[in-house]
Structure 1
């Protein structure tokens, strides 16, 4: 089933007032009414105009149509959600059942038959608020300690005529310890407000971690390059590593080579379970820029039976 863009049918903007919608309907009715127009498709066009006006002229239907169809375009494949009939009520008037029976399947699915809006006389339109997605930027240190952030959210809100307006809401959000890149934090009831007394939606916060000077995040794991002196790599050593949660000591095994990776379990981002610390070892040679350094390198070249290219 194709999505019907009723605003496009009437040739009005989505923020059009009720008066602008009425004027557009009258203009098109004069153009396509079968008793007046000689166009071969006049009857079909008039049915489309009537259908669009039946929805957009009633604040309840218009608000419901905007609520569901805000992400669709004309002609796009459309299927209403399985639970579309739940939580929505609207009053009916304007067109007779016989006239509404001539409307499209799209109209019937949403407003007419089983699975569409329920008819309850003059009861008001009621709909739950939509979920709102936003990103929150954090320092890596915040994953270890938790944080509080103030967010400014742009939320859609329908007025009495069903027109969507954007309002700004400031919200203080407590970020728990242990969050990681890409994690979704759901704050119940902090999304867009419901309509007609419907419950509000949720706020879905997607965590983004700012780049760190030394550490990279892989889920809850932390990864970094650990430089080693040649004697630390050859003889083994205990080296200190600075992490957001504090300084730790890591044992380097004898004979470590550049490119080897060490895993230190439980030293990544806190959680249940916590992540690991992944260390990519890199042996760094001291420069031979002093007489003493040159003598040491010459001694190694002379005394060590070592061929890096066997």
Structure 2
């Protein structure tokens, strides 16, 4: 059996941490995966990377592997005492045998050669982001999310598959909230349970409303005469339009508060909607309108800059 330098295969130092090895594997697996790699030897390299990672990620197998020291790649190596008898009673060569089992047995040779089954390990938890609208947050309806999730194929090789989930947005959900889908994350190892999938809500910017906690702010455009004379105007809310009475003499920047018209909270209450008055001046006027504005200017004693004089 020939020695293989797994650290060289993974491109890491022999002192690399478990996290360093995991990051190196993820990078190389993406690079040489048969579905994406253009390298003619990509499939072979992908298998070599998987073999190296299977040994180095397991603390017991890695410790046994490290007992060999740093041998030149391709150098011969011998199995532990009794391994040939137990594993290969016909006395055939070892080149077609599982190296992971070999290194596990090296580590157990000092304990009477007893072989343990690998312990079960829970799968990885995974976070994905789902974009939602204010209306979906407010209405607590269902959304559909898609995720590219890891799994292991029939040959034990890692791959990613696309999954679709329909999830309910809970009442009072907020931007950045994490929703847990139990058992929908990474696959478990050696019979261990799957990890969880966490869906992180990201609220889209709204064309009309600005969010502050459970309160909403919007600009309420008024014509000059509506601000001066007062008016009843229709205001859109997340629960449908309502009529708002604007008092005579209203000014730009003034806020009109509509209680209970903001975002709903988990307890069923809701914030307020603040309508911020913005005075809109017509940019195109007819001759008749211009004449009326001149009459108003001549008749009015209003001094908008009196305090600045």
TM-score relative to the length of structure 2: 0.60
Residues 238-253 of structure 1: matches in 2 within 5 Å? Answer: 238-253=232-247
Deviations 1:65-111 (A, max 9, x none): xxxxxxxxxxxxxxxxxxxxxxxxxxx6323698xxxxxxxxxxxxx
Give, in whole Å, the separation in 1 of the partners of 2:52 and 2:224.
81
Structure 2: runs of 5+ lacking an equivalent:
1-14, 30-45, 56-64, 76-97
Distance 1:180 1:252, change over 3 A: farther
Is structure 2 residue 304 aligned with structure 1 residue 292? no
User: Which of 152, 168, 183 is matched with 1:189 structurally?
Assistant: 183
User: Which of 200, 208, 218 is matched with 1:214 structurally?
Assistant: 208
Deviations 1:244-296 (A, max 9, x none): 31111223344322122333222112223323212221011245722432232
Give, in whole Å, the separation in 2 of the partners of 1:180 and 1:31.
55
Structure 1: runs of 5+ lacking an equivalent:
34-55, 62-91, 99-119
Distance 1:255 1:20, change over 3 A: closer
Give, in whole Å, the separation in 1 of the partners of 2:207 and 2:222.
18
Residues 200-279 of structure 1: matches in 2 within 5 Å? Answer: 200-271=194-265, 272=267, 273-279=269-275
Distance 1:269 1:152, change over 3 A: same
> What secondary structure is seen at the aligned counterpart in 1 of 2:296?
helix
User: Which residue of structure 2 lines up, in the alignment, with residue 155 of structure 1?
Assistant: 149
| Alignment coverage as a number of residue pairs | 234
Distance 1:215 1:29, change over 3 A: same
Give, in whole Å, the separation in 2 of the partners of 1:219 and 1:248.
22
Asked whether the equivalents of residues 189 and 202 of structure 1 are also in contact (C-alpha less than 8 Å), the reply is: yes
Distance 1:183 1:279, change over 3 A: farther
User: Which residue of structure 2 lines up, in the alignment, with residue 18 of structure 1?
Assistant: 51
Give, in whole Å, the separation in 1 of the partners of 2:137 and 2:22.
46
Deviations 1:201-228 (A, max 9, x none): 2222122333433223334332221101
Is structure 2 residue 71 aligned with structure 1 residue 29? yes
User: Which residue of structure 2 lines up, in the alignment, with residue 44 of structure 1?
Assistant: none
> What secondary structure is seen at the aligned counterpart in 2 of 1:227?
strand
Asked whether the equivalents of residues 287 and 293 of structure 1 are also in contact (C-alpha less than 8 Å), the reply is: no
Give, in whole Å, the separation in 2 of the partners of 1:189 and 1:31.
41
User: Which residue of structure 2 lines up, in the alignment, with residue 3 of structure 1?
Assistant: 17
Give, in whole Å, the separation in 2 of the partners of 1:9 and 1:212.
41
Give, in whole Å, the separation in 2 of the partners of 1:287 and 1:13.
62
Residues 104-183 of structure 1: matches in 2 within 5 Å? Answer: 122-158=116-152, 164-183=158-177
User: Which residue of structure 1 lines up, in the alignment, with residue 90 of structure 2?
Assistant: none
Q: Max radius of gyration: which structure?
A: 2
User: Which residue of structure 2 lines up, in the alignment, with residue 105 of structure 1?
Assistant: none
